[in-house]
Amino acid sequence: MASYFATENNSDIQTLKMKLSSPSVQSDPTQCRLLLQRIIALMTQGFDMSELFTHIIKTAATSDIVQKKLVYLYMSTYAELKSDLALLAVNTLRKDCSDPNPMIRGLALRTMTSIRLPMLVEYTEQCLLTGLEDSSAYVRRVAVIGCLKIWNIAPNIITGHNVVDKLYNMLRDSDTIVVTNCLSVLDEILQPDGGIVINKNIAHYLLNRLSEFTEWGRSKILDLLLKYEPTQDEAFDIMNLIDGCLKHRNSAVSSSAIKLLLHLTKDMEDIHLQVFKQVTGPLLNLVTSSNSELAYTSLCHAQLLVKKAPDLFNTAYKKFFCRYNDPSYLKHKKIELLSLVCCEDNVQNIVNELSAYCTDVSVSLAEKSITALGDIVKYKPLCSQLCMKTLIHLLSLQLGYITSQVLITLQGLFLYERNACFISDVMEQIPECVSILDNSNGKAAMIWLIGHYGQSLSDSPYILEDMIDNISEEHSNLVKLHLITATTKLFFKRPAECQDMLGKLLEHCIEVENNVEVGDRASMYYRLLHEDINKAKEIINSSLCTVKEDDEKPCNTLHHIQCFGSLSVLFGQAKWKEIKLRERQQFTEKVQENETLVCREKEINTANLLSIDDGDCVAMETIKMKNSFTLTPEAFEGKWIANSASEILEFTVPSTLTAIEVEQRFNNHNVVTMATSQYETDPWKAFFYAQDTSEYLYLFELTLSKHDCKAVISLKWEGEEATTSPTEEFQKLCCIILNS
Amino acid sequence: MLTTICDGNLEVPDFGFPQNTSTDTLKAYIHNDPILIKGERQPGEVASGLFGADHRVAPSSAANKPISASRQLQSTHKNEIFVDVIERLTVLIASNGNVIRSEIDGLMQMKSFLIGSPEIQLGLNEDIHIRAGVSNIGCNNQVTLEDINFHQSVKLNEFDNNKILKVNPPEGEFTVLSYHMSGDFPSSLPFVIYPYIEEIPDKGQFIIQLKLECDIPSKDHVVTYVTGVGESAEYKQSEKAVVWKIKKIPGLSDVTAKFKVSVSDWNKKNRMEIGPISMEFEIPNFVLSHLQIRFLKLFDREHSYVPLRWVRYVTHSDSYVVRLI
């Protein structure tokens, strides 16, 4: 078998051609089969076998079914490339559509409908319509799906022959797979009108036959029944019928059954809650499954249910404890759920378990569990005492990454008044934390706490003083910003101790510091303090803003029940809308392109699936820049400061674009570089200028951020006002430069 | 074989809609001849049981034969049926010895090489109870399952009274039933670890002594996952873990090991960084839940052969974690 994928000398196209046409091969079916298998293997590996098209078609006229299958497989792969030669195959295909063997009829029909060439459609039409009424169920199944394939290329045929009505009639077919196919096809064809219509007759008929269907059919029917609105008695009957599906071993069937039950009872409050309890059983079975992906998906759904009924898993919380070999994404999800199902009865056990994870070998797991403890404090006030004590205890362990994360979490928790009693305990531990903190976020959190609550801690000014003395070694801008604010706040409370160091700090930040943000903040504070100290105190110590709602995490808001069992639960509502929008755009583009004879393949950039894309830039006539224009640095600075208003333009750039390339490209378009920061820094900043043929002068600052693939341009221009704003033209030019 | 895969791929999904995934019906559509992998079948041994009733023992690879289509009946074809009861344990033990979590996920798999599809009757323990909810209290050696799910083709008319299952097995491997059990079990947990940790601040060392006790009735043997002669231990830098491998432990015995950990910058809090112990093992011939197959009978009027029936019980560890601190 390994030899199928070995590259041998006889993979040469010419050799294969000769072999195919040799009479010895044509007469011996085994040899022919082997040769075809060889060709298919090469095709699978990616070699282009399209030149053999005519030769292979000739071998289609055979009675050996294995050979036929191979030939048809080849044909459906290459027919679009060789559309002019595809017509040669039509006769054989049509003949096979009336073959006595139903397997061959089905095969031929499937191949004909899979070849997406509009010119073949007129031949396929008749075979398709005959196939819909074939005596063999196998052929009927293929014919029904074939209708959908043809509808994608030539919808007029489907509407012309009233195929939709025929398919509705075929719902009464004896073969259940044919019925399932009809349902799927009708749902898709009628999508612009809201999908297939499930009226009372159809609903009752499907429910009565439910046990005969395959698991995939059952899952489809249960999904479609969401469209049917039953009366109350009918609803109870339906619920009894689908009760058996809840425990089905196929998770798709059981999740569709859960969805339907929840949908049917959504207006009956007490029964709705009972249903919630009933569905926890099957859901928890899936959570403990050995398949990690299945467990993750069921956890996302459990998270969805917990929002509506928070005490659903109060006793079953142990199922959410992490197993040793669980992959990290699964462990993270379980920890999230543990913080959601916490209640007064189980808080002790859950907190014990989470604290065990806090000292785990994996840093990200430890951070996640600490954050989870913080979440319990935020959202479950009754359980918060124990969690706060645990967090403070963790501080005393003096482990670097744990201390940073705890401080970051505590920063958010003290915004709630009820946790104010713990402030002094925390502040006592701070002096010991100073030396072990290695993470800049942790340091920033500690500095913030000192600034805000430092009045009770006697050492606080001296801690800050140490940090200020070493500020030249500090790299993180976040730490510096927090240091400025914290020192100023502490100065208002303990002026005598802090005055000198505040002065030193501000001086350093304004004079020596390179970073614009740090310098700006320092100079603003300096001017405020200079003007009016009381006013400054009021502004800087202004009451903290109210606690913001968290960003929408997946499953944070309660989706409509319709989403249960679908991918949107995993991605979250906002991201899912984006993905769907993109799919619809691609579909309409494809429909437009199908009007040409050859279909081009659309590339989907999967790397960008979860990020936001700008629209594609269109190549148009652009402004041209003069190539002999120069400005001195002083002139540039003069013009920059004189022009106060600037426009901000944002662009998305490919992730492979480097700073050097960007500069090069602008230079190629006669845009001159004034100054740049170091090429390796991220974000990279640079100043450019240019003058175009209509005497407009452009000055701009470009900030390139590699890790989010964005470029921001702050543009100032000079020149006479004209009918079209030069900004638009400039934007087009930049679009081309940055995205070509 | 590539073309068999292609055949399968053509038949199962059509334009993205799954058509048919049942192996019985799919077989008719696959026209390529299968290539059989002939495994060497070692001869079985005969082990003596109680009261002179001998039962035969076959090596565990005996079930790994290919299922050949009935149209290619070979002369050496034996009519056999293999039934496996496989349990996976999830256990979490705290540092003070309390069992925080103990669960069993079990399933019964059947692999049938019988010609045709005769009806098989399987009898389970008569004292099985199915009770959803918390642990069973006062068990009396009963088997109390939290949840049990059966395959579609299993007929349950005699299950409630006599705990008998009737099934017509399709060819190939399938899961007859799966069950779940949590809380206290009829027998004690198979492994208990007694840890002892000593700190030596002067030298910056911890000494961790572990005594592993195996609490299973003595006639059963335990084999852990791995090669190696006897025992061995090594430190894996990438996982920051010490791996201690033991090839076999007989029941009702114990093994001890001493590990010395040197820490470069000593801090009394370093003890908190000692992580939990995770065990991976396989116990043949033993199931913690005491689920048993009392009998397995065949009813086939068309053929007059006596089939060979093989039954195997195995317990695996899914996640067996003992915390030290």
- The per-residue pLDDT for range A596-611, each reduced to its tens digit, is 543 343 333 344 444 4
> Is a pLDDT exceeding 90 seen at residue A333?
yes
Q: How many angstroms separate the CA of residue B94 from the nearest CA in chain A?
A: 10
**Does B67 map to a domain?**
no
> Is a pLDDT exceeding 70 seen at residue A678?
yes
CA distance B44 to B65: 15
A490 and A538, same domain (yes or no):
yes
B163 and B83, same domain (yes or no):
yes
pLDDT reported for residue B247: 79
**Does A732 map to a domain?**
yes
A681 and A715, same domain (yes or no):
yes
B159 and B293, same domain (yes or no):
yes
B178 and B199, same domain (yes or no):
no
B165 and B83, same domain (yes or no):
yes
- Of the candidates A241, A267, A299, which is a domain's last residue? A241
**Does A524 map to a domain?**
yes
Backbone φ, ψ for residue A737 (5° rounding): -60, -45
Query: Radius of gyration over alpha carbons of chain B, in Å?
Result: 24
The CATH number of the domain where B182 resides is what? 2.60.40.1170
The CATH number of the domain where A221 resides is what? 1.25.10.10
Q: Which residues of B touch A41 (CB under 8 A)?
A: 2
Q: How many angstroms separate the CA of residue B261 from the nearest CA in chain A?
A: 16
Among B5, B17, B90, the residue to mutate for chain A (most A Cβ within 10 A): B17
pLDDT digits (tens, 9 = 90+) for A498-535: 888 888 888 888 888 888 899 999 999 999 888 888 88
| Interface touch A1/B35, C-beta < 8 Å | yes
B94 and B150, same domain (yes or no):
yes
CA distance A470 to A480: 11
CA distance A622 to A116: 39
| Interface touch B3/A40, C-beta < 8 Å | yes
In the beta sheet, which residues pair with residue A342? none
**Does A275 map to a domain?**
no
Per DSSP, B264 falls in state S
Using a CB–CB cutoff of 8 Å, tell me whether A9 touches chain B. no
Mean per-residue pLDDT, A178-195: 89
B127 and B261, same domain (yes or no):
no
Q: How many angstroms separate the CA of residue B116 from the nearest CA in chain A?
A: 23
| Interface touch B151/A247, C-beta < 8 Å | no
pLDDT tier at A332 (50, 70, 90 boundaries)? Answer: very high
Using a CB–CB cutoff of 8 Å, tell me whether B24 touches chain A. no
Closest by CA position to B197, among listed B144, B140, B103, B276 = B276
CA atoms within 13 A on the CB side of A112: 34
From the CB of residue A174, how many other CB atoms can be counted at a distance below 10 Å?
A: 9
Q: What is the mean pLDDT of each run of 10 residues along chain B (325 residues)?
A: 71 74 69 61 52 57 59 60 90 88 90 81 85 52 80 84 86 85 80 84 75 64 43 73 81 82 73 83 86 84 74 89 86
pLDDT digits (tens, 9 = 90+) for A460-489: 888 888 888 888 888 888 999 999 988 888
Among B15, B103, B147, the residue to mutate for chain A (most A Cβ within 10 A): B15
pLDDT reported for residue A331: 94
| Interface touch B147/A281, C-beta < 8 Å | yes
**Does B93 map to a domain?**
yes
A580 and A651, same domain (yes or no):
no
| Interface touch B14/A141, C-beta < 8 Å | yes
Domain housing B198:
191-282
DSSP β-ladder status, B128-130 and B143-145: parallel
Q: Tokens 């004292």 identify what position?
A: B127
- CB-based contacts of A568, cutoff 8 Å, min separation 6: A559, A576
Q: Is A508 exposed, middle or buried (0-12, 13-18, 19+ CB in 10 A)?
A: middle
Using a CB–CB cutoff of 8 Å, tell me whether B147 touches chain A. yes
pLDDT reported for residue A723: 53
B152 and B294, same domain (yes or no):
yes
- CB-based contacts of A727, cutoff 8 Å, min separation 6: A647, A649, A715, A717
pLDDT reported for residue A615: 40
Q: Coil, helix or strand for B173?
A: strand
| Interface touch A249/B134, C-beta < 8 Å | no
Domain count of the fold of chain A: 5
Q: How many angstroms separate the CA of residue A37 from the nearest CA in chain B?
A: 7
Tokens linked to A737: 């430069």
pLDDT digits (tens, 9 = 90+) for A208-243: 998 888 888 999 999 899 888 888 888 888 888 888
B171 and B195, same domain (yes or no):
no
Look up the pTM and report it.
0.75
pLDDT reported for residue A297: 92
pLDDT digits (tens, 9 = 90+) for A90-103: 888 888 888 888 88
Rounded to the nearest 5 degrees, what angle is found at the Cα of B61, between the Cα atoms of B59 and B67?
A: 130
Tokens linked to A166: 């025929």
A481 and A513, same domain (yes or no):
yes
Q: How far is CA A267 from CA A271, A274, A434, A565, B164, in A?
A: 9, 13, 57, 20, 42
Domain housing A162:
2-241
| Interface touch B240/A361, C-beta < 8 Å | yes
Instruction: Go through B174-208 and write b for each residue having 16 or more CB atoms within 10 A of its CB, e for each that does not.
Output: bebbbbbbbbbbbeebbbebebebeeeeeeeebeb
Using a CB–CB cutoff of 8 Å, tell me whether B318 touches chain A. yes
* Structure-derived torsion over alpha carbons of residues A394, A395, A401, A404, reported in degrees to the nearest 10: 130
From the CB of residue A412, how many other CB atoms can be counted at a distance below 10 Å?
A: 16
Q: Coil, helix or strand for B195?
A: strand
Q: Which residues of A touch B87 (CB under 8 A)?
A: none
- CB-based contacts of A227, cutoff 8 Å, min separation 6: A195, A196, A197, A198
**Does B41 map to a domain?**
no
Cα nearest neighbour of B275 on chain A: A360
Q: Are A83 and A50 in contact (CB under 8 A)?
A: no
B262 and B317, same domain (yes or no):
no
B255 and B119, same domain (yes or no):
no
**Does B3 map to a domain?**
no
Tokens linked to A690: 């240019």
Backbone φ, ψ for residue A683 (5° rounding): -80, 150
pLDDT reported for residue A544: 60
